[in-house]
């Protein structure tokens, strides 16, 4: 095994992720290479040591390149930090492997032609070979960050575009909802056709008024109860709205004082009830409002008729 290949595989031997044949070849090289043995001893000590406190920090691109090249340009504490980080970071291990593959391919493409022009250079260990390897490392340091950017840029663009599209959808949906809410207050023809409110007020306010007739055409009748605000006491009291015929209660519901006040203080100024029509046969009725648990008569009573 060549020395430059052995340097790239040393940390793989230390962590035990080399194939058996490659590991055996590397051990044979270590037997005759003092430099690789020293580096292997260093990596072994680092791998068995407790990971540094900053092992979670991703190494910089230049550190990835230097580590992939054997770590000769890194301080001992940097080697320890990167080695500890690589144990738990699959992405950075992949980047180290990418740099090693690129380095091996570059060596093959650069050193092979050089060997044809300088027959003694490929096997030499002199200054020319060192200069070529230094140039290659510099090129990797300069190009590798750009390579990572080009590889990750499409993913970032896709993620950004997906987020922007989703944000536009949410804004458009909110706009439609706001329009529908606004139309509910100004347009009575949404979805179910025109809605006609049937206002009921006590006869004492209009002594000469005729008894109103409500037409039951759908599943419910919208009735607006024109209550006197002064009749609603503040506090936890509850009020029961009931429709009676004779002594029989055909329909009723209860509201709290705050709910009733909310209706009265709203733009319509009345309590809006949706009364089912299935229990209201044609005939005479009265709508009453009484205090739940209170004494005395109703605080509101208005007669009306149902017709179909």
Domains and CATH numbers, the chain: 49-161 (no CATH), 198-307 (2.60.40)
Q: Average pLDDT in the 11-29 region?
A: 84
If one counts every other C-beta atom within 10 angstroms of the C-beta of residue 95, the result is 23
Average per-residue pLDDT for the chain: 75
pLDDT of residue 254: 94
Q: Average pLDDT in the 28-55 region?
A: 73
Q: How much is the pTM?
A: 0.38
Which comes out higher in pLDDT, residue 96 or 194? 96
**How far apart are alpha carbons 17 and 9 in whole angstroms?**
10
Given pLDDT bands bounded at 50, 70 and 90, which one contains residue 189? Answer: very low
Greatest distance between any 2 Cα atoms in the chain: 123
Tens-place pLDDT, residues 239-261: 999 999 998 999 999 999 999 98
Residue 209 has pLDDT above 50, yes or no: yes
Beta bridge partners of 222: 274
CB of 64 closer than 8 Å to CB of 99:
yes
Structure tokens at 119: 């027959």
**How far apart are alpha carbons 281 and 307 in whole angstroms?**
8
Percent of the chain whose predicted confidence (pLDDT) is above 70: 67
Instruction: Select the highest-mean-pLDDT range: 8-22, 173-187, 203-217, 227-241.
Output: 227-241
pLDDT of residue 118: 46
């Amino acid at each position: 095994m060549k020395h430059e290949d052995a340097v790239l595989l040393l940390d793989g031997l230390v962590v035990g992720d080399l194939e058996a044949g490659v590991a055996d070849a590397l051990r044979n090289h270590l037997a005759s290479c003092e430099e690789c043995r020293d580096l292997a001893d260093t990596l072994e000590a680092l791998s068995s040591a407790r990971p540094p406190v900053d092992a979670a920090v991703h190494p910089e691109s230049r550190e990835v390149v230097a580590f992939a090249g054997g770590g000769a340009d890194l301080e001992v504490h940097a080697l320890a930090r990167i080695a500890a980080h690589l144990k738990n970071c699959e992405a950075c291990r992949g980047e180290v492997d990418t740099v090693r593959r690129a380095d091996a391919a570059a060596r093959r493409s650069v050193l092979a032609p050089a060997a044809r022009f300088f027959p003694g250079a490929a096997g030499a260990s002199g200054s020319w070979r060192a200069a070529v390897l230094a140039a290659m490392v510099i090129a990797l340091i300069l190009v590798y960050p750009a390579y990572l950017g080009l590889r990750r840029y499409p993913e970032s663009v896709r993620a950004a575009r997906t987020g922007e599209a989703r944000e536009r959808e949410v804004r458009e949906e909110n706009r439609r909802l706001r329009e529908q809410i606004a139309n509910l207050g100004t347009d009575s023809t949404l979805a179910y056709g025109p809605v006609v409110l049937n206002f009921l007020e006590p006869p004492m306010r209009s002594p000469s008024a005729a008894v109103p007739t409500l037409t039951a055409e759908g599943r419910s009748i919208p009735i607006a109860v024109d209550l006197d605000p002064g009749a609603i006491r503040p506090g936890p009291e509850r009020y029961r709205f009931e429709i009676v015929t004779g002594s029989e209660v055909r329909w009723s519901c209860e509201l709290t004082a705050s709910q009733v006040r909310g209706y009265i203080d709203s733009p319509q100024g009345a309590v809006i009830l949706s009364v089912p029509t299935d229990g209201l046969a044609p005939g005479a009725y009265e709508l009453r409002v009484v205090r739940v648990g209170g004494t005395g008569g109703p605080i509101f009573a208005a007669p009306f008729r149902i017709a179909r």
